[in-house]
Structure 1
Amino acid sequence: MGTVTLSVDAELGWGWHDLDSPPNDRIEAARQSWQRLQGLLSEFSVPATWAIVGHLLLDDCDGRHQSHPAGVDWFERETGEWRERPDLRFGGELVNDLQTARVDHDIGSHTFSHVPLSSDKADRETARAELERSVETAANYGLSMKSFVYPRNRVGHRDLLVEYGFTTYRGNRPKTWVDENDTLGTVAKLVRGTVPGTGPPVVDPVVDEFGLVNIPASLYLFGFEGRARSVAEAVYADPMVLKARHGIDAAADDDGVFHMWLHPNNLVDERDFARMRAILSYVDDRRRAGDVTVATMATVADEVRKRVRA
């Protein structure tokens, strides 16, 4: 029997503040979608790892962050277009709600201001500042974070995670032919999304050379959108629901982890919430049947460490 894990990249506006043309529909939906997603998780008693952008935990700021090594240009949107949009910059009450939720969520870090931490995007000083500020703001909320999710999945500076008290991170999804072939057309994508045996991988968390538990991603729940999704839903069913079910079924027959992830802001339309309801309902059904367990990244990491020590 395997484990199902869900991680959530919780950003509000910070996921796109550095982009020239951010997706406004997702930005405007972000806060309400966060709340509705939390409600769905409570309804189905599914704990998740919420990786929080640390800036959301500030009560206020001038938006300049002049001492931050990323430079004032990195925060340009905060001092300009979003200066009068505290709803996109701050989210302490949302995190408070997670802390008091009836399911035991794992609250982790998604850096302080969503700087990609791969070595080609962030030097050591910037990476350290992002981690330090994230940990400090969390401490003001009584949070000691163990789980880490890299912005845009750009993994780097892993040794610094250990220095700041993290024990686990979401690693990159294992590469397979069907995932890496970007030339597939709509029909091929439909086939890929609906044919049994093409489901996403169940992964085996490992302890890396720094002592961190790497829990690779299995499935991004909103990686099948646009025309391909519309065609699939019209012809058969939501392909991401089918792929998620395939992965959950595989976990039921395996000792590994099926690790799904998303952003709250992926949930823009009612069909997006319908997707999540269908997936969470299926998780709950298989758990009630005794086929899978549901655990956060922190819990999975603890179990991996116990096995390594045994």
Structure 2
Amino acid sequence: MGSVVLSLDAELAWGFHDRETMPEDRVATARESWLRLLETFDDNEIPATWAVVGHLFLDSCDGEHEAHPTSAEWFDRDPGTWEGRDQQWYGSKLIDAIENADVDHEIGSHTYSHVEMGHTTREIASAEMRECVELAEDRGLSVDSVVFPRNYVGHRDVLAAYGVKSYRGTQPRQWYDRGPLGSLTKFLGWPTGTVSPTLVTPEEDEYGLVNIPASLYLFCFEGRSRSAVERVADDPIVSMAKRGIDRASAENGVFHMWLHPNNLTEERDFERLEAILSYLAQVRDTTPLSVETMGSIAADIKDDEPLPREPIGPR
């Protein structure tokens, strides 16, 4: 029997604050999309791992982060206000909504300020994890799972030092991802069923963390290509997701889907998620398929003993 996992990079505006320009549509709708996604998960009784940028645990901030070892301009876009005024930078009420959901979601970490962990120093990585863990503990939560911003894996030893149990590893490359014909292959193959998604095998790494690689990004086929396919066929991502769910119900392995709440900016985006989640619920209820969080997958692989915590730096 296989499993299905959904993980979300929950970041609001923090996912773009280091970019020269921010996608206004994704930032403007991100909060509403977050809440609507929670309703869709509830409707289908599907739990997910919400990897939340740590700064979103705050309901206000003075904008000063002098103790953080990043460059002085890293937090320039932090407005230093409060959630009611600048809702795309603070998310305490959104964390409440996850905790109050009907289904038992996992709240993980997407670092504190969306630092690319594969492209930073150990000092900064340690500060990012320390802030996340302390904010979670203030709420009575533990950080068991991490999703690396932009999927740049790095400083896994730091994660282990803070008691993290799992992380989302990079998606295995497929033959259709390579070369200049990759997009064309997807365009032709996804609607016709000649391309199948990957089931992954979670494995414990040298730091005692469970690597749960991604299988399918649910918004990797967008723009004109998506619109062109949808004129003549079903949404290709829905088709791919259904094939992955079917494989997980028939084979051993994990089908790990992921997305950002800020990916959902149009009604057709919500229709995509509803189609995938309702199909997943149907298969789960009629076959020996489990729907898990990253934390529960890690718990299945590791023993019940918690990892020793050796925090790096001052509290």
TM-score range, shorter chain: over 0.9
Number of aligned positions between the proteins: 304
CA RMSD in angstroms, aligned pairs only: 1.9
Change beyond 3 A, Cα 1:90–1:82: closer
Q: In the alignment, which of 127, 130, 134 is matched to residue 128 of structure 2?
A: 130
Map of 2:109 onto structure 1: 109
Map of 1:11 onto structure 2: 11
Distance (whole Å) between structure 2 residues aligned to residue 278 and residue 41 of structure 1? 12
Change beyond 3 A, Cα 1:132–1:182: farther
Residues 155-185 of structure 1 show CA distances to partners (whole Å, capped at 9, x for unaligned) of 0000111111100000000111212335445
1:71 aligns with 2:71: yes
AA matched with 1:124: R
TM-score under structure 1 length normalisation: 0.94
Once the 2 structures are TM-superposed, how far is the Cα of residue 278 of structure 1 from its aligned partner? 0.2
Decide whether the 8 Å contact of 2:82 with 2:90 is kept in 1.
no
Decide whether the 8 Å contact of 1:203 with 1:215 is kept in 2.
yes
Decide whether the 8 Å contact of 1:112 with 1:130 is kept in 2.
yes
TM-score under structure 2 length normalisation: 0.93
Decide whether the 8 Å contact of 2:110 with 2:146 is kept in 1.
yes
AA matched with 1:153: N
1:173 aligns with 2:164: no
Map of 2:279 onto structure 1: 282
Please give the residue correspondences for 1:1-310 in structure 2 after superposition, counting only pairs within 5 Å.
1-79=1-79, 86-118=86-118, 121-185=119-183, 187-306=184-303
Q: Which ranges in structure 1 are unaligned for 5 or more consecutive residues?
A: none
Once the 2 structures are TM-superposed, how far is the Cα of residue 64 of structure 1 from its aligned partner? 2.6
Once the 2 structures are TM-superposed, how far is the Cα of residue 305 of structure 1 from its aligned partner? 1.8
Change beyond 3 A, Cα 1:66–1:106: same
Show structure 1 runs of 4+ deviating over 6 A.
80-84
Decide whether the 8 Å contact of 1:170 with 1:216 is kept in 2.
yes
Decide whether the 8 Å contact of 1:132 with 1:164 is kept in 2.
yes
Distance (whole Å) between structure 2 residues aligned to residue 75 and residue 56 of structure 1? 14
Change beyond 3 A, Cα 1:88–1:126: same
AA matched with 1:88: Q
SS of 1:64 mapped into structure 2? coil
Residues 197-227 of structure 1 show CA distances to partners (whole Å, capped at 9, x for unaligned) of 4121000000011110000000000000001
Q: Which ranges in structure 2 are unaligned for 5 or more consecutive residues?
A: 305-315
Distance (whole Å) between structure 1 residues aligned to residue 301 and residue 83 of structure 2? 44
AA matched with 1:11: E
SS of 1:74 mapped into structure 2? coil
Residues 98-137 of structure 1 show CA distances to partners (whole Å, capped at 9, x for unaligned) of 112110001100000000000xx21010000000001111
Decide whether the 8 Å contact of 1:189 with 1:228 is kept in 2.
no
Change beyond 3 A, Cα 1:295–1:57: same
Decide whether the 8 Å contact of 1:50 with 1:105 is kept in 2.
yes
SS of 1:4 mapped into structure 2? strand
Decide whether the 8 Å contact of 1:199 with 1:244 is kept in 2.
no
SS of 1:247 mapped into structure 2? helix
Distance (whole Å) between structure 2 residues aligned to residue 10 and residue 210 of structure 1? 25
SS of 2:7 mapped into structure 1? strand
Decide whether the 8 Å contact of 1:64 with 1:72 is kept in 2.
no
Once the 2 structures are TM-superposed, how far is the Cα of residue 84 of structure 1 from its aligned partner? 9.4
Distance (whole Å) between structure 1 residues aligned to residue 159 and residue 239 of structure 2? 35
